[in-house]
Amino acid sequence: MRNRNGTRITMDLDRRLQTHGDFYSQKFQTTEREDTLVLNLGPQHPSTHGVLRILLEIDGEYILRAEPVLGYIHRMHEKIAEVMTYPQFAPYTGRIDYLHPLAWGWAHIGAVERLMEVQVPERAEYIRVITCELNRISSHLLWWGAYINDLGAFTPFFYAFDDREIISDILQRIIGSRLTFSFYRIGGVATDIDDRFVTETREFCNRMKERLKMYKALVTDNFIFRNRLEGIGVIPFETCRKYGATGPVLRGSGKAYDVRRAEPYSIYNRFDFEIPVYDTCDAMGRYLVRMDEIKESIKIIEQALDALPEGECINRKASKRPKPSPNDVYFATEGGRGKIGAHLVSDGGRSPYRLKLRSPSFSNLSLFSEVAQGTLIADAISILGSLDLVIPEIDR
Amino acid sequence: MMDLIFIPWQLFVIGVGLAAVMAFIGLNGLLLVYLDRKIGGFIQRRVGPYEVGPQGILQPVADGLKLLGKQVFTPRGADPVLYWLAPMISITPAIVVFIAIPFGPRLQVINTNVGLILILAFTGINVLALCLGGWASQNKYALLGAARDIAQSVAYEIPLLLSVLPIIFMTGTFNLFDIASGQGAWPWQWYILYQPVAFLIFFVCILAETNRSPFDLPEGESELTAGFHTDYSGMAFALFFLAEYAYMVIGSCLIATIFLGGFQGPILSGAWWFLAKVYILLLIMIWIRWTFPRLRFDQLLNVCWKWMIPIAVVNLLVTLAVISL
Amino acid sequence: MITKTFSATLRGLHSLLIGLGVTRNNLFRSSVTVHYPRETANLEGFRGPVELVPTEEDPTKPKCTACGNCIRICPSDCLYMTAAKPKKKEPQEDTSFNGQTAEESKTEKPAKKPKPEPQSFVLDFTYCSQCGLCVQHCPVGSLRFSNDVYLAGFSREEFVFDLLAKLKSQAQQKEQ
């Protein structure tokens, strides 16, 4: 078909059908078989929790090859850190992983404090621990609801959000937002907590213990649910080590590695909590690790509330516009998904020379193509859910 | 007027009956959509539909109007005839089947001696509709969903039939009216007491045949977008949707007739008892839908082949042994 | 073996019934959702757009000293401020000889410098991420978060707030 000037504006149907797919679909190496289907678990999909695209080669229901394609939400956080000054990067950390933003904020602020050798007052440390653990509980609750939603039960999602709303309310009074928290500052925290925060948090901890029993009755003990999870997505410890997986993925494969115990930061060595470990290596192990982590977080919060000291909530002598000497430092925290790392290199100016963010979901996702071979599509969805990925954190 | 004399009166009755049945299916569809969402809302501690009409009663009407107003198109590459044939093949048996179901002591369109066979045969045509729907959409997701659905439907036909056979052997007839009136008025006279295992198997098979949770993998909302009806929109989707609810109602009517005494009830036998039983069963189906995750596809088939069929066969053999003694 | 599978299956079916019981219990409880807009949720402490804090003496003037800390620290560059130019001193008429001696005129206090204040203070809310750095870095505490979160508008320009005008209208509303 041609327009008035004679230029071709449509192609033949045959040529159009031959150039289907994009760069990734065309370069996707399939196996030698000819009777397989190449499917895109596309960037828009109800259960990939973000814009994750997975190219699958399937034979009926079985996956022969899987390849994740990333980068759909790359927002250049590391480059932005190079043009912002040290305190100006704080709101960006809240948007990297919107489910556990306080852990990312802690990684960045902790790196700056380690670089500047800034002392943080005791009360601020306790507030940081309490808020970070509350955030971890809310992150695990959302993971739980979304995971069960992928498996087909739509109700536990709402029960989880009922609890999550209470956490959001508690944190909103202090921090001022419900999702993307920008709370930690160099030398402490932005605002102080009051008695109402303490009482509400204690009430929430008591309520959560009852709710966990209900979750166990509704979901964890459920026959159908256990059949969807047990034996699915076995990730042996060697695979975890190869790809650098951390967090519940690693702890569900038998290795008790938690940054709060292995490289203790802040005041975590004062608290008595256990690291849940299961050696079944399957999706059920990872699930149980996260449910136990909620219990451990409640324990930590209660201990911290009991021992909360009085004092300043921020070190007023900390420089508000730091200009550190050339040095580099690495600071790691335990996020809901694994080990979050911030490697900060300064060259003496007001902005860092380089900020490298280590994202736990990136390492956790890398083992997906190896683990998903030979599984059914429904199992692949179950494995993705049990890895607890947040795609913006992978793409940063 | 002279022409009307040459229409046999049975055909006239069937015509009127079909019109009444279509109205019944339509109203039921509306009510079930509303109940599904409202009860789901209450289970999830929220209000469900609320805005359209008082307490959201007019929500299904709004949904229907929306679906009617959508753009009607055929996807590129889809087979034009088969694409439009699939929803019609899906809904037609659903309407026709209702003519054999006894709603009340004098409320049945036709009273045939092969009523049960007619119903079971017509519900099997649904598989063809799903097959055509998935294939004609020229969509990989739809194809996968249709493939799963065909396997599931065909597999669960067998325990469906096997669990109905003991009742047929017990009563000796396929006539639904006779089966319903053969049971007494009180719950301990209903056939569910004689055949509890068959009741459970039949109930599970109805859930699987109509693709309800926990067997809704072909619809797989979180996995394959929407399964075999991914590419359908507007009225075609509405027909598939209506057909699913119609098959649910048919299944509940069958259970009520065969196992729960049909229209008979303790105090006043009549159509209201029948409707009450049907709706209690539908509510249980909705309750189950909102509670359980879905079974994986091979687990689904395993349940059928490894558990349902052996248990149904054993049940049948035991029934035959007891009858012949 | 057979008994184990049977007992496992029966226990599994029992767990399904427990799950049904949980949903049945929840079916009869009240709803936990907030029925917006008929009810509004608790928004205490929620960060709305920043606003200027008035001084005690003059509620139409902010505490701001036009230092520019907030402008520099904002990661999104959404604050714009121009400082008021200091008033030019009028050339003094030669009234020095009004009977004062030379010593007395020297001990007169120098005329007070005018307090620096902003002439215009604009917040472009379409870029603000409500991080709170401007609030924290203000040396006199002249910025705080407001609580008006129910903002709606028809165009982007409506979200470019003139904070001085807002302060003045707030002061007028308080007087009424």
Domain of C133, CATH number, reads 3.30.70.3270
**Do B295 and A224 contact (CB within 8 A), yes or no?**
yes
| pLDDT for residue C96 is more than 50 | no
Per the structure, the count of domains in chain C is 1
Helix (H) / strand (E) containing C118: strand C118-124
SS3 content of chain A, % helix, strand, coil (to 5): 50, 10, 40
In a domain, C11, yes or no: no
Residue C127 structural domain: 50-85+114-171
Q: What is the pLDDT of residues A253-303, one digit of tens each?
A: 988 899 898 888 888 888 888 899 998 888 999 999 999 999 999 999 999
Nearest to B45 among C16, C20, C31 (CB): C31
* Chain A residues with at least one Cβ partner in C under 8 Å: 84-85, 87-92, 94, 155, 159, 162, 165, 169, 172-178, 180, 182, 185, 190, 214, 217-219, 221-224, 226, 320-321
**Closest residue of chain A to C33, computed from CA coordinates:** A162
Cβ A152–B40 below 8 Å, yes or no? no
CA triple A173-A270-A245, angle to 5 deg: 80
Find out whether A311 and A218 touch, Cβ atoms under 8 Å: no
For residue C10, the model assigns a pLDDT of 87
Residue B131, pLDDT score: 84
Q: Mean of the per-residue pLDDT values for chain A?
A: 87
A349: three-class secondary structure by DSSP: coil
Tens of pLDDT, residues A58-92: 887 788 888 888 888 899 999 999 998 888 898 89
Q: Answer yes or no: is pLDDT of A50 > 50.
A: yes
Position C176 confidence tier, pLDDT thresholds 50, 70, 90:
confident
Which residue of chain A is at minimal alpha-carbon distance from C138? A320
Instruction: Report the helix count and the strand count for chain B, using DSSP H and E.
Output: 12, 0
Q: How many domains does chain A have?
A: 1
- Report pLDDT for A303: 93
CB-closest option in C15, C45, C75 to A176: C45
Task: Say if A350 falls within a structural domain.
Answer: yes
- C68 assigned to some structural domain: yes
* Any domain includes C99: no
SS3 call for A4: coil
Looking at residues C46-69, what average pLDDT do you find? Answer: 86
Q: What ranges do the domains of chain B cover?
A: 3-324
Using the predicted structure, report yes or no on whether residue C165 has a pLDDT greater than 60.
yes
CB contact under 8 A, C26 and B46: no
Edge-to-edge strand list for the sheet holding A62-69? A37-41, A53-59, A62-69
Q: Decide: residue C121, CB within 10 A, 0-12 exposed, 13-18 middle, 19+ buried.
A: buried
Q: In this structure, what are the phi and psi dihedrals at residue B108, rounded to the nearest 5 degrees? A: -145, 140
For chain C, give me the number of helices (H) and strands (E)? 5, 5
Give domain status of residue A51, yes or no: no
> Are B307 and C9 within 8 A, CB to CB?
yes
Q: Does the beta-carbon distance from C27 to B42 stay under 8 Å?
A: yes
User: pLDDT tens digits for A109-160?
Assistant: 999 999 888 889 999 999 999 999 999 999 999 999 999 888 888 889 999 9
Per-residue pLDDT of chain B (325 residues; tens, 9 = 90+): 555 566 778 788 888 888 888 898 889 988 999 999 999 999 888 888 888 888 888 998 998 888 888 887 777 777 788 888 888 888 899 888 888 888 888 778 778 888 888 888 888 888 888 888 888 877 777 777 788 888 888 999 999 999 999 988 888 888 888 888 888 777 777 888 888 899 999 999 999 888 887 887 776 554 655 567 667 777 888 888 888 899 999 999 999 988 888 888 787 777 888 889 999 999 999 999 888 888 888 888 888 998 889 999 999 999 999 888 8
CB-nearest to C20 from B46, B291, B307 is B291
Full domain range(s) for residue A156: 77-370
As beta bridge partners, residue A342 has: A331, A357
Token pair belonging to A246 = 């951390």
pTM > 0.90? no
How many whole angstroms separate alpha carbon A181 and alpha carbon C46?
A: 11
Mean of pLDDT values over C42-49: 82
Residue C88 has pLDDT above 70, yes or no: no
Q: Which of B36, B38, B42 to mutate to test the interface with C (most CBs of C within 10 A)?
A: B42
> What does the pLDDT read at residue C100?
47
Q: Which of C9, C23, C33 sits opposite B291 (nearest CB)?
A: C23
Q: Which residue from A77, A80, A100 is spatially nearest to A396, judged by alpha carbons?
A: A77
Compute the average pLDDT of residues A243-252: 91
How many other CB atoms sit within 10 Å of the CB of residue A209? 12
CATH number, domain of A177, equals: 1.10.645.10
At residue C91, the pLDDT reads 52
Position with higher pLDDT, A315 vs C42: A315
Question: pLDDT averaged over chain C?
Answer: 80
**Residue A158 CA to its chain's centroid (Å):** 20
> Two tokens at B70?
């959508």
Position B11 scores a pLDDT of 82
